[in-house]
């Protein structure tokens, strides 16, 4: 599970006030320009109407001014045409290009915003906020290496801006560079002990860097210090499970609610099986309502195993048969069922399930030899010999060879 910190870079740069380079306004157009500026706040509709008085050829300052008035009126989409016109007339019009890029960013149009921002860099007007904006585009376009470089540039201008560190941490995690992520997350965590996101990023990095004990200690602290959700609880349970602390893990798995609860109950059952507390396995596996088909198969498999250990063969058989309803190709379960039928002297059923299990290479030898044993008990040595012969052709061992020789001698 990858932990990502919330990006808060954008809010600080959209429509930010910066010093900009204005185009030239001819003297004969100055009066009209000033009239529109005067009307901008008091009567924006009248200000927009004034643009009809423009001559055929006019300064790009008017295009920019019209765009700004439209932006004031929350009509950003209409403003873009006039910003483009201003830039067509004056490609070095810094404020028009910056405003155009900001409009595109507000629309989440990162693909088109990026080249506009890069043009500003070429104008020599890049600052920390601009590099942050460029990094956002790269992040959204999944150009993580480029985003990292831009964030590093932004950090030069804004060394105390922690949002840059957050974005860098996200970059490292996304690129699975967990060595860098661990170092940065540790620094951020030292400075912000109450930030749960930093705890989670640091713990994830420790896990990925194979520092399991340190990760466990920090996850224990996280659970004790913060309001936790199911993912937090499950992660701590997983850590205990991986360390073989099965009863602690089981207790935590059983606290998980919601969508993760079904899988967590199964994991708790695995814990109890590993801890040999089979009564608890049967106790917690009561219904399959929240489980997927594959989880239902495992549900009944675990329950069958527990019943076997408790000496309840009939209940075990019933559970294993239910498991096959949800995964008919489970050779592991098929082999268990065959053994139980053999114990109950139901030889036809036992042979059938041993045959099914033998389709899996992991159960092939044992299933074929078990079938041979049943045939011997039924005085059908020829069939037994056929089973052993098939195994002998694929697997060489002293046991199989001895079994084969025994059956061959008995045919004489």
Domain with 409 in it: 329-412
User: How crowded is residue 217: how many other Cβ atoms within 10 Å of its Cβ?
Assistant: 14
Report helix, strand or coil for 176. Answer: coil
Distance CA 96, CA 63 (A): 9
Q: Residue 162: what pLDDT? A: 87
Residues 77 and 62: beta-carbon distance below 8 Å: no
CATH number of domain containing 369: 1.25.40.10
Residues 293 and 326: beta-carbon distance below 8 Å: yes
**Cβ-based neighbours of 178, under 8 Å, separated by 6 or more:** 172, 204, 205, 208, 209
Q: Does the residue 348 lie in any domain?
A: yes
Q: Does the residue 403 lie in any domain?
A: yes
Residues 1-20: b if buried by 16+ CB within 10 A, e if exposed: eebebebebbeebeeeeeee
Q: Residue 96: what pLDDT? A: 94
Q: Does the residue 283 lie in any domain?
A: no
Q: Does the residue 223 lie in any domain?
A: no
Residue that the structure tokens 């992520």 belong to = 181
Q: Does the residue 395 lie in any domain?
A: yes
Residues 387-396: b if buried by 16+ CB within 10 A, e if exposed: bbeebbeeee
More confident residue, 399 or 290: 399
Terminal CA-to-CA distance of the chain, rounded, Å? 65
Q: Does the residue 344 lie in any domain?
A: yes
Q: What is the pLDDT of residues 187-237, one digit of tens each?
A: 999 999 999 999 999 999 999 999 999 999 999 999 999 999 999 999 999
Q: What is the pLDDT of residues 335-383, one digit of tens each?
A: 999 999 999 999 999 999 999 999 999 999 999 999 989 999 999 988 9
Q: Does the residue 310 lie in any domain?
A: no
Query: What global pTM score does this model have?
Result: 0.70
Q: Phi and psi for 395 in degrees, rounded to 5?
A: -135, 130
Q: What is the pLDDT of residues 113-128, one digit of tens each?
A: 999 999 999 988 889 9
Instruction: Choose among 86, 85, 67: nearest CA to 77.
Output: 67
Q: Residue 10: what pLDDT? A: 40
Q: What is the pLDDT of residues 20-49, one digit of tens each?
A: 467 899 999 999 999 999 999 899 999 999
Residues 181 and 5: beta-carbon distance below 8 Å: no
Q: What is the pLDDT of residues 96-119, one digit of tens each?
A: 999 999 999 999 999 999 999 999
Number of structural domains (the chain) is: 1
Q: Does the residue 178 lie in any domain?
A: no
Residue that the structure tokens 């290479």 belong to = 361
Q: Report in angstroms the alpha-carbon separations of 280 from 212, 223, 274, 314, 323.
A: 28, 25, 12, 19, 19
Q: Residue 17: what pLDDT? A: 41
Label residue 3 by pLDDT band (50, 70, 90). low
Q: Residue 21: what pLDDT? A: 62
């Amino acid at each position: 599970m990858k932990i990502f910190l919330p990006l808060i870079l954008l809010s600080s740069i959209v429509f930010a006030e910066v010093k900009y380079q204005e185009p030239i306004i001819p003297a004969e157009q100055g009066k009209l320009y000033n009239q529109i500026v005067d009307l901008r706040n008091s009567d924006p509709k009248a200000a927009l109407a004034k643009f009809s008085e423009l001559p055929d050829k006019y300064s790009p300052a008017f295009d920019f001014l019209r765009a700004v008035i439209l932006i004031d009126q929350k009509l950003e989409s209409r403003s873009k045409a006039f910003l483009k016109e201003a830039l067509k007339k004056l490609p070095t019009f810094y404020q028009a290009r910056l405003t155009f890029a900001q409009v595109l960013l507000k629309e989440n149009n990162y693909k088109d915003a990026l080249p506009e921002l890069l043009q500003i860099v070429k104008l020599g007007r890049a600052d920390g906020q601009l590099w942050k904006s460029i990094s956002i585009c790269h992040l959204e376009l999944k150009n993580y290496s480029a985003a990292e470089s831009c964030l590093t540039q932004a950090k030069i201008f804004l060394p105390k801006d922690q949002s840059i560190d957050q974005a860098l941490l996200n970059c490292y995690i996304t690129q699975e560079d967990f060595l860098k992520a661990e170092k940065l997350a540790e620094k951020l965590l030292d400075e912000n002990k109450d930030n749960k996101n930093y705890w989670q990023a640091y713990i994830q990095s420790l896990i990925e860097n194979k520092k399991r004990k340190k990760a466990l200690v920090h996850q224990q602290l996280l659970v004790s210090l913060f309001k936790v959700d199911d993912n937090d609880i499950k992660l701590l349970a997983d850590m205990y499970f991986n360390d073989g602390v099965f009863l602690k893990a089981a207790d935590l798995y059983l606290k998980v609610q919601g969508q993760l609860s079904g899988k967590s109950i199964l994991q708790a059952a695995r814990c109890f099986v590993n801890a040999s507390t089979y009564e608890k396995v049967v106790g917690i596996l009561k219904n399959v309502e929240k489980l997927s088909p594959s989880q239902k198969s495992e549900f009944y498999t675990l329950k069958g195993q527990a019943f076997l250990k408790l000496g309840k063969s009939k209940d075990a058989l019933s559970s294993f048969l239910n498991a096959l309803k949800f995964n008919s190709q489970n050779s592991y379960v098929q082999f268990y069922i065959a053994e139980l039928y053999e114990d109950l002297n139901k030889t036809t059923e036992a042979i059938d399930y041993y045959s099914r299990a033998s389709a899996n290479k992991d159960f092939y030898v044992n299933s074929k030899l078990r079938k041979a044993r049943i045939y011997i008990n039924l005085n059908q040595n020829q069939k037994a010999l056929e089973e052993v012969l098939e195994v002998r052709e694929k697997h060489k061992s002293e046991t199989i060879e001895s079994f084969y020789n025994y059956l061959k001698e008995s045919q004489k």
